[in-house]
Amino acid sequence: MLAKSDGTTLEQHINDLLLVAKALESALPVLPKITRKENFWELLHVAILFHDLGKTTPGFQKGLFSKRYHFRHEWLSAALCLNFALEEEEKLLCASAVLFHHKDESTLRERYNEEKAHKRDLEAQMPVDPNALLFDDEFSALDFEWIKTFLYVHDLMLPSFEANNPLPKLTTPWKPKHPKVSEQKKFEHLLMIGSLKICDHNASAGITSLLLMEKADFTFLTQIQKPYTHQQKAWQSNGNTLLLAPTGTGKTESALGWAQKQLLKQQGRVFYVLPYTASINAMYKRLSSREEGFGSDTKIGLLHGKARFFLDKLYEGEEGKSLKEFIDMHRKVLKPFKIVTPFQILKWAFGIKGFEQGFCELSGGCFIFDEIHVYDYELFQRLVLFLSWMIEKLHIRVFIMSATIPRFMQSQLIEKLAINTVVTPDEELTDKLVRHRIGLIDDTIENSSELILELLQLNKKVLVVCNSVLKAQELFQAFEHIASKVLLHSRFNARDRTVHEQTIYEKAPQLLIGTQAIEVSLNIDYDVIITELAALDALLQRFGRVYRRRPGDILNTQEINCFVTLHVDKSSQQIYGADVLQKTAEELQKINNDLLHESQVQKMLDAVYEPKTFDPELEGDFFKMVDEITPYKVHLDNEEKFNEQFDGVEVLPIALYETWKKLDDTHEYLEAEKLFVPISRNLFHHFQNLVFTEKTYNNRYILIIRLVYDDAIGLTQEEYFDNGLGDI
């Protein structure tokens, strides 16, 4: 009896699922507690044994190869499960997981209605579709002898084989406008179907075990000879923790030690959340290293919009490694430690496809957020609200760390996330951490070329940060004669961006010019920075890339290493707000040509940022949305709301069209996708007259933009004329 067209037998496939379930029990031990089902794993065992028994019909077995059999096997499997001797609610729980493990409630209800219409036509002697299949006929065609023998081997027996159609009973509770299902019942069903899908998807991919984070994985922390006091406190903290510490004082190690402590108490998956692609890729490499991390990437997953491109480059040419396998592993529950963007967490709150597995994986997890406040305030609220919901419902633990968070946001985090430990460094340490002398320039960053050149001639490693891509590009082009330089911003395609990030880490170019992507978690150490005026917390993050790994020897010199240009344009005001920029400038004036002491930072931040309060309407709507997510459904309206969180469009520069076409024609789709460039919707609309579409062979529409693209400077705002592409 086969389960797959590749020759996998039904018995082998089900046994593989049982192996995954056993591993899942170790990886996510909190699920029985959340569902209040002490026998959760036993019930999952039952659901697994029944989930594919509907494949024993002759039609399915022949259809594996002919592809002409279209009756849902899980329909039959659920009917068999309803014959099993279980307490009624538990029987419905197992049978529902079996029924919906491939298709959602509305799809199966539609199939049921089609069958009813077919029966009516038969009774009325109307013309009917000769290929239509009826439940009763297919149920009677099941191989009952094989099923009895299989279940007997697993110590189960069916008292009868009644052909009771399960669809009316199992789809009714989840219909729209049906009386609200209790929260406990919802979580039972949500986590049971999620667990079954995890087992099925992993087993089908040949994954029958799940990795765990173990104490031995964190041995690199013991190599820190003199950990700071705040690191030691974080390592001993139980539960939700807030760490407030300057850049370069080992916050990452503090967070990892905290995670180790939580995992010793209760296993769960770890999610390290960072805001930018560059910082996520860098953290992945760092934690894969033997010196600063786990020694390999075996247990580390990577999830962000461009992860497939980064992984492709990272594993390029490695023998025996399939990119698809790598990407699947990073997505599946196999990896116990994932480095992600906040959207990879938040999407489950909107019921995005796969949310049942998502909620399972989140359950009992450890969440590390680095600089959670760098997002806009609306996204900050949604993240905090979802974390608070998961703390209550899914028993997660959180570790928030920041060097630059306003006090009112600290209070909101402590209150909303039930934070029981706040860790700060010793004053003795912060007094020594004086690494930055501030110099203000009453001009624009475009007029700083002479200063930059002078610093380069002094053999300084210079970091330049602009608030817009256009300015960064213009400055970069002004230094054509400098050989060791790199530009980093958001308007590179994935192919070139990956190369630039590698160059930054491997060659440490003398001149690095970039935008906000440089701010958070890039573990680089430059001699001096020239930056446009930005919000104070953003500036402090930028300063943290200078003298990052050095002692406070700047105290012995009058040399400025953090220059800020004070003239701002409208685009900077739109990004940060004119009021915030003005107050930031006022605070910086107080320390112009002076040292920046850590003891000053909090007072400066609180002077710049007016306290805000959570929007009660946003909070109410968000919790209502999350609470109304139910298993077995497709939440299309919520998916639209989630997609509204993104301000981006992907376009293909016209100069890369021929390259893309060749790759697409030869089915090198991943390489072809690497050529697309993300741009904001505002920029897209501004240049809409230079955008045209082309329909690909698989009915996909791509957007081609007639703007100049260069692998060193990215997508420009200069119109491309001589494209040589004829009538395209």
Q: SS3 sequence, 290-339?
A: CCCCCCCCCCEEEECCCHHHHHHHHCCCCCCCCHHHHHHHHHCCCCCEEE
Q: Which of 238, 240, 289 is nearest to 523 (CA)?
A: 289
Which spans in 158-275 are helix H? Answer: 167-171, 183-204, 229-236, 251-265
- Residues 72/53, Cβ–Cβ less than 8 Å: no
The DSSP bridge pattern shows strands 337-340 and 270-273 to be: parallel
pLDDT at 681: 87
Q: What are the pLDDT digits (tens) for 223-267?
A: 998 999 999 999 999 999 999 998 888 999 999 999 999 999 999
For 435, counting Cβ atoms within 10 Å of its Cβ (0-12 exposed, 13-18 middle, 19+ buried), the class is buried
pLDDT, the chain, mean: 89
Angle at which helices 307-314 and 323-331 cross, to 10°: 130
pLDDT at 311: 46
Q: What are the pLDDT digits (tens) for 97-118?
A: 999 999 998 899 888 888 888 7
pLDDT at 552: 58
Q: What are the pLDDT digits (tens) for 675-685?
A: 999 998 889 99
Q: What are the pLDDT digits (tens) for 318-345?
A: 434 444 554 555 556 678 999 998 988 9
Task: Determine what percent of the chain falls in helix, strand and coil, rounding each to the nearest 5.
Answer: 50, 10, 35
Residues constituting the chain? 728
- Give the separation between CA 715 and CA 709, rounded to whole angstroms: 4
Q: SS3 sequence, 520-572?
A: CCCCCCECEEEEECCCHHHHHHHHCCECCCCCCHHHHCCCCCEEEECCCCHHH
- Give the separation between CA 275 and CA 372, rounded to whole angstroms: 8
**Integer angstrom CA distances of residue 698 from 131, 306, 664, 669, 702:** 28, 22, 11, 12, 11
- Give the separation between CA 132 and CA 446, rounded to whole angstroms: 71
- Among 138-152, 203-217, 508-522, 527-541, the range scoring the smallest mean pLDDT is 508-522
Neighbours of 691 (CB within 10 A): 18
Across residues 680-702, what is the average pLDDT?
A: 85
Domains and CATH numbers, the chain: 10-204 (1.10.3210), 215-429 (3.40.50.300), 435-596 (3.40.50.300), 647-719 (no CATH)
The DSSP bridge pattern shows strands 707-710 and 714-719 to be: antiparallel
- Residues 339/301, Cβ–Cβ less than 8 Å: yes
